[in-house]
Amino acid sequence: MPLTSHSGLPLVPQPSRFKDDPVNWPSWMKWAVLIQVGFFAFLGPFNSAVVNPSLVLLADGLGVDSTTASYTTTYAIIAGGLTPFIFTPLTNIYGRRPVTLFAILMTIAGGIGSGASTSYAGVAVTRALNGAGFGGMMSVGTSCVNDMFFLHERGEKTGIYVIFVTNGAHVAALFGGFLGAAKGWKWDFYIGAIITSVPFVVALFLFPETLFSREEEFLATRTHERSYIEMLFNFKGNMIPNRQLRLSHFTHSFAMLKYPSVTLPFIYYTLAWTFINILPAVTLATIYHQFYKMGAGPIGACLGISLTIGSVLGEFCAGRLSDFIMYRKAKQHDGVRKPEYRLYLSPLSAVFMPAGIIIFGATVGRTGFIPPLVGLAIGVFGLQIGSTCLYAYISDCYKPQTPETGVLFNLGRGLSFFIPFVATRLANRISYVWAWFTFAAILFAAYLPVAALIWRGERWRIAAGTPTFHRYM
């Protein structure tokens, strides 16, 4: 008889008999790891964006214009989007823990290097190193969530993880500007390195390995149960036996793009992250300095407060509600949990995100500084709902391949690098109203194929087949 949850539905996955199975861990240990991987993901956008309110100061210090200075953030974003293609296959073989600890050290080194640099080239190179590191830090989050939690818990837990991802840049903006104004732009980089060093120390003792094989043959013959200390420091013992790194492992993420249930959400999420999170992060300093004569500190506060409020409110409407909808629909259909139930909240994202973009474009420079910020809050409210739905949906569709789909979402965030090159130039040519309306229209159009998944997703998944790799996880 399969084990069931409190609701009476079978647990997915079924827990093994071993106490070191992550789904069997005590609640405090699961939460400790969840908060840590969430904070790792938080520190990615944080390190990327902490200097953004001080871009004018950075430009003056390096002798370049503010647009060119913003490209240093672009270099970090690109690197952060690409390195998970290297780190993720390593986490599937050698474990989540050692790869993450190495990535944290890279992030710290890049931050210190950026602060110590005296030239634009030096900042550019070290920002890329910083981005390469935080890309690795962000590559383990969804994998760990799926390693530890049952399917009926993943909506809420994924939502908690996503709120960390979304708010890293927002919190960075809150004090990055004030710090830059008080101590200079170099300290924006130093503070990122200092803050990132704290979870490294914590992870040494509170981040046990979550990689665990669910292969039936392996579990049937397994006899040794790891202790907590072994899950921390027994590097070889935490690896899955008889698994070796192969060149093909580095292409598995691209292989997932043949599945509509991955590709369509990937495209939508990429554009959503670009227009809702990155667009204001890299343009607000220039725009608010131009129209409202604000300095770095107030600009950071405007950006951080508006986006943080919107994302927190969005999560109140996302995680647990997603799990509740899944539970109710499963009860109505003899316990069958279709991943498409996760998408039932997603239309809200298609309403609020374009609306927020349009409000910002229509009001910036035409009204006081507050109405555009309301638009930012509305947009990120929709982003939080959409991100939670999409993360949980893809995880439910392809749980063993969650690391690879997580890489694609990281790539999506990396692809947002193009927006600084086009946003303000387009606005100067056709006005902020029409430029931001164009972005809103593109984003809404990208949602329509995702909406089709609500009705056609199951049929398309069956037709596309199931990936053959990582079935042991």
Per-residue pLDDT of 375-414, as tens digits, reads 999 999 999 899 888 988 888 888 778 778 888 888 887 7
Per-residue pLDDT of 357-371, as tens digits, reads 999 889 988 888 889
* Amino acid occupying residue 311: S
**What's the mean pLDDT in 24-30?**
93
Rg (the chain; Cα; Å): 22
pTM higher than 0.85: no
**What's the mean pLDDT in 125-144?**
89
Q: How many CA atoms, within 13 angstroms, populate the side-chain half-sphere of residue 124? A: 10
The CATH class of 22-213+229-238+249-464 is mainly alpha
- DSSP of 298-358, one letter per residue? HHHHHHHHHHHHHHHHHHHTTHHHHHHHHHHHHHHTTT---GGGGGGGHHHHHHHHHHHHH
Say if residue 16's pLDDT is above 90: no
CB 129 within 8 A of CB 79: yes
CB 162 within 8 A of CB 384: yes
Torsion on CA atoms 247, 249, 255, 259, rounded to nearest 10: 170
Say if residue 63's pLDDT is above 60: yes
CB 330 within 8 A of CB 404: no
Percent share of the chain, pLDDT over 90: 29
In angstroms, the CA 220 to CA 223 distance is: 8
Say if residue 220's pLDDT is above 90: no
In angstroms, the CA 141 to CA 162 distance is: 9
From the list 363, 369, 327, the residue with the least C-alpha distance to 344 is 327
Per-residue pLDDT of 96-133, as tens digits, reads 999 999 999 999 999 999 999 888 999 999 999 999 99
Q: Which residue has the higher pLDDT, 59 or 245?
A: 59
**What's the mean pLDDT in 196-215?**
91
**What's the mean pLDDT in 239-260?**
82
Per-residue pLDDT of 346-355, as tens digits, reads 899 999 999 9
CB 147 within 8 A of CB 21: no
Query: Encoding tokens for residue 289?
Result: 């300095």
* Confidence at residue 131, expressed as pLDDT on a 0 to 100 scale: 92
**What's the mean pLDDT in 309-325?**
79
CB atoms within 10 A of CB 428: 10
Lowest mean pLDDT among 1-10, 159-168, 275-284, 340-349: 1-10
Say if residue 6's pLDDT is above 70: no
